[in-house]
Structure 1
Amino acid sequence: MIISATMSFLVHVIAKQLNADISMGIDMQIKDNHYTGFIEGIPTFREGKVERLNQWKEANNIKDTYVYFYTDSSNDLPLCYQADHVITVNADPKLVQISDEQAWGQQHWNLNK
């Protein structure tokens, strides 16, 4: 599953490439085949990620889960605190500090060869 604060039409394409079964992003309102600039539903940002995950779990009758969560942003702290296992990747400074305090895993990826 991928939950991102990116527009859902992009998240779905990326999720498909990564073979993720479920993907959630920010759903933009469409009117007359054009994006209006307004968000539909709960945006998958900060606490919204937790809400959307919990809605999905409830809708799919999923009770017992073990959540691994990868993130780079302190904006994701609400979901970090709900996850069972957090791994930060190239985290922002605030997230690095909290990750140190919480003893979360930290990874540093470099795309240079």
Structure 2
Amino acid sequence: MANLALFDLDHTLIPTDSDYEWGRFMVKLGIVDAERFAEQNERFYADYKAGKLDIHAYLLAMLTPLAKYSRAQLKEWHDQYMHEVIKPTIVPAALELVKQHKEAGDLCCVVTATNEFITAPIAEVFGVDKLIACEVETVDGHPASAFTGRPTGTPSYREGKIVRVEAWLASLGKRWSDFEHSYFYSDSHNDIPLLEKVTDPIATNPDDTLRAHAQQAGWRILDLFQAS
């Protein structure tokens, strides 16, 4: 029987925060007010690390600039972002981890609080077909349409990750008990709810809070980037 393998993205499969780096990239391109946006980006990132992020306010701030540009222009910028910022950071050990689960026939999914516009191309690099990310509203609901600059649906953040994963499994006619093993790899204490839900929680490159929690709970700890 195939197992379930769930992966957080930022600081788990990649040694950086793709949302934070996209914010910095927008500042570099000059498509947002540099001083105001950089300050806002830093504040949201600090809130996330502290476990007190207002996910709705954050998503609105990150997505609003996208509504000003065509999808073609955004894709051109994102391709540049992938080439300059993301791909150089990806380590072989992270690619190998995902590859091992895929070769074992496991049902794989990236589950991230970062929005789908930023993360879909990154999940593709890892060869993971299913992505659960914060959803971006489009003008008429068509995936190729222009963005409205607003989020939609249930944010895949904290307990929202459980809601989204369970909805996805239900769409496949599956539930947690259908898997002998369900794995979740994450670096963040914000993901403790989902880590507690799976049979095999793996604290991956964990922050200090998650590392302490994992040690107390007897969870496996994987320092993925040190292994590269």
Q: Kindly indicate whether the alpha-carbon contact (under 8 Å) linking 1:4 and 1:44 is maintained by their aligned counterparts in 2.
A: yes
- Work out which of the residue numbers 43, 49, 52 in structure 1 matches 2:161: 49
Q: Say which structure is richer in strand.
A: 1
Q: Select the structure of larger CA radius of gyration.
A: 2
- Could you tell me how far 1:33 is from its partner in structure 2? 1.9
Counterpart-to-counterpart distance in 1, 2:191 and 2:112 = 10
Q: Counterpart in 1 of 2:39?
A: none
Q: Aligned residue pairs: how many?
A: 112
Q: Counterpart in 2 of 1:22?
A: 130
Q: Percent identity?
A: 26
- Could you tell me how far 1:67 is from its partner in structure 2? 1.3
Q: Say which structure is richer in helix.
A: 2
* TM alignment of 1:1-113, pairs within 5 A: 1-31=109-139, 33-36=146-149, 38-63=150-175, 64-65=178-179, 66-110=181-225
Structure 2: tracts of 5 or more residues without a match: 1-108, 140-144
- Could you tell me how far 1:30 is from its partner in structure 2? 2.8
Q: Deviations over 1:16-63 (max 9, x none)?
A: 111112111111223382342x22000110011000000011111013
* Displaced runs of 4 or more, over 4 A: none
Using the size of structure 1 for normalisation, the TM-score is 0.88
Greater relative contact order structure (CA < 8 Å, 6+ sep): 2
Residues 1:110 and 1:59: Cα distance change in structure 2 (over 3 Å): closer
Counterpart-to-counterpart distance in 2, 1:53 and 1:34 = 24
Counterpart-to-counterpart distance in 1, 2:226 and 2:196 = 29
